[in-house]
Amino acid sequence: MNHHLHLGLGNFFRAHQAWYTGADPRWSITAFTGRSPDLADELTRRDCRYNLVVRGPSEDRTEPQTAITTALPGTDLTAWRSWMSRPSVAVLTLTVTEAAYADFVPARLVAGLAARRAAGAGSIAIIPCDNIPANGSTTAQAVAALADPALATWITDNVSFVSTMVDRITPRNPTPGVDVITEPFTEWILSGTFPAGRPTWEAAGARFVTDVRPHETRKLFLLNGAHTLLAYAGSALGHTTVASAVADPTCRTWLNEWWDEASRHVPLPAPELLTYRAALLTRFANPRIHHTLAQIATDGSQKLPIRVLPVLRAERSAGRMPTAALRIVSAWINHLRGAGAPLNDPAAAPYLQRAASSRDILTLLAPDLTHDEALLKALP
């Protein structure tokens, strides 16, 4: 049996990568939790079986999932090193949230790779699946910065870092248990090599491309940026879910303004972007997916620089005042000051200390823009 190893056993992984690996019966998954060790016990008690509830606008489709065969707590470093040392493990996927790449992930990977090298277990592909640009090379750099020179050389020769765009809206399940609720739409685009082989993810619709960047930009700006707009500006109007916000004509106008502005900076043909926008509206409007704005509003200080600021910068460089990007930044500043969805962002502490001053906030968020007086004037 070939093994797919995973770190970050949350809902998104169980609705996305685990579902794709389920299409190839020659592979099984061992998954470590990121931050909630209890989930490993709960899954183990159920033999790692769970249902994926694929929630369409009018009905559910229940798909029993069997690809995961072992669930382990992320706190068990001995088990982590031991699994990383198995030659049968050919791929390692990660879903650990944006914030974790600056935090525990590089150290965890270095510990695992050092054990793998010592065991002579051979090459492996590392496949980050979080919403950060160039997630493969970003992870490679973070790992290289921590590895000693001998390990760094071994990594260069034996480890590939694959960049991916992942997409499937998977809200937190309000009912306790291991089942996962997700939307029918799913997309996975990967770019990179798999030196020890991989599951036939294309059997479930994954696409392998030479350059993932245009797709990643499309998704980060148009989907995630729009989510962030609704999370702050929509919640300030009193909405609590994505579906309720998109039913509001004011939010719809804001969404279209953001999409017009952001689309200028996505290097894909205009008709493709218009089709994607239309599909996003349908996905966001799914009345049976209870995707809370509070969930999306978490970790804004980590998400804005990825989803929104590149558009803002590109528009300023083109000499324009980016009203839609500014609306999102302004709504986030108001959120820091108590408006809309509750604040849940451990990395926002420095912002909170200076929340009264937009100039100070901008200095922390985008130091390169601090001297843009016209921009500052437009902030609350």
For binding to ligand CS2 (CB under 6 A), which residues are involved?
A: 131, 167-169, 224, 227, 295-296, 303
CB of 18 to ligand CS2, least distance (A): 15
CB closer to ligand CS2 out of 154 and 284? 284
Alpha helix ranges (H) inside 77-134: 77-84, 105-119
Q: What's the rounded Cα separation, in Å, for the pair 230 and 232?
A: 5
CB closer to ligand CS2 out of 136 and 171? 171
CB of 233 to ligand CS2, least distance (A): 14
CB of 83 to ligand CS2, least distance (A): 27
For the chain, list the strands marked E by DSSP.
2-7, 27-32, 50-55, 60-65, 68-72, 89-94, 124-128, 159-161, 163-167, 180-182, 187-191, 207-208
Q: By 3-state DSSP, what share of the chain in percent is helix, strand and coil, each rounded to 5?
A: 50, 15, 35
- The HSE-up count of residue 146 (CA atoms within 13 Å, CB side) is 19
Q: Which residue is nearest to ligand CS2 (CB)?
A: 227
Q: What's the rounded Cα separation, in Å, for the pair 113 and 128?
A: 15
CB closer to ligand CS2 out of 28 and 33? 33
The DSSP annotation for 201-270 comes to: GGGGT-EE-S--HHHHHIIIIIIIHHHHHIIIIIHHTT--BHHHHHTSHHHHHHHHHHHHHHHTTS-S-H
CB closer to ligand CS2 out of 55 and 227? 227
CB closer to ligand CS2 out of 104 and 185? 185
CB within 8 Å of 341: residues ≥ 6 apart: 231, 232, 235, 293, 294, 296, 297, 335
CB of 232 to ligand CS2, least distance (A): 12
CB of 221 to ligand CS2, least distance (A): 12
CB closer to ligand CS2 out of 151 and 308? 308
CB of 264 to ligand CS2, least distance (A): 21
* Pairing verdict, β 180-182 and 50-55: parallel
CB of 167 to ligand CS2, least distance (A): 4
The DSSP annotation for 38-55 comes to: HHHHHHHHTTT-EEEEEE
Specify the 3-state DSSP secondary structure of 327. Answer: helix
CB closer to ligand CS2 out of 5 and 296? 296
CB of 163 to ligand CS2, least distance (A): 15
CB within 8 Å of 149: residues ≥ 6 apart: none
CB closer to ligand CS2 out of 121 and 261? 261
CB of 184 to ligand CS2, least distance (A): 13
Nearest 5°: phi and psi at 292? Answer: -80, 145
CB closer to ligand CS2 out of 117 and 303? 303
